[in-house]
Amino acid sequence: PTNSSLIGVNRGCWETFAAVYDCEVPVIAAVHGYCLAGGVRIAGNAAIRSALLGRQRAFRKPPGLVADGRDMGTVVFPDATLKIFLTADIQVRAQRRYKQLIDKGIRANLAALSRELEERDRRDAHREVAPLKAAADAVQVDSSALSIDQVVDLIVKQYREKTSGKA
């Protein structure tokens, strides 16, 4: 990729975009890893990941950073103070995604979403570059039966315990 094909953005939260022009329109991809319009998968693209790594790490500044992504704890920030490996049952994840899409006015098929999530997990877990896996020191959290507030409370508690309440 060239510099013109990679764009780093910080809007007060963690966002890294890779613009991929193979699909006739620019595609936002990096954290979520694929082009819906054309099926172009970039999550396992070593050149793009390498080009983004320095930009991703540059976002790490005081007072801190919450980073979301499938390789944040293993590749991008392996020395992070706290690493959370957040999981949920595939059907729960599909239902959550379905609701997000419907709420945005986007038609969706629950069975197809479930299959796509399962395939993405399988593909990401077996890719050669930055495979999906929990860091050895990550706290694993299954959010299947938890609300967003419960997950946030659990993570804040883990952080306070890890930092001895200094934050």
Residue 94: its pLDDT value, please? 93
For the segment 67-96, the average pLDDT, to the nearest whole number, is 91
Give the span between the Cα atoms of 81 and 92, in whole angstroms. Answer: 29
Q: What is the pLDDT of residues 121-130, one digit of tens each?
A: 898 899 888 8
Give the span between the Cα atoms of 149 and 76, in whole angstroms. Answer: 26
Residues 6+ apart with CB under 8 A from 15: 9, 31
Give the span between the Cα atoms of 122 and 138, in whole angstroms. Answer: 20
For the segment 104-118, the average pLDDT, to the nearest whole number, is 91
Residue 141: its pLDDT value, please? 93
Q: What is the pLDDT of residues 16-59, one digit of tens each?
A: 333 333 333 333 333 343 334 333 356 677 887 888 888 889 88
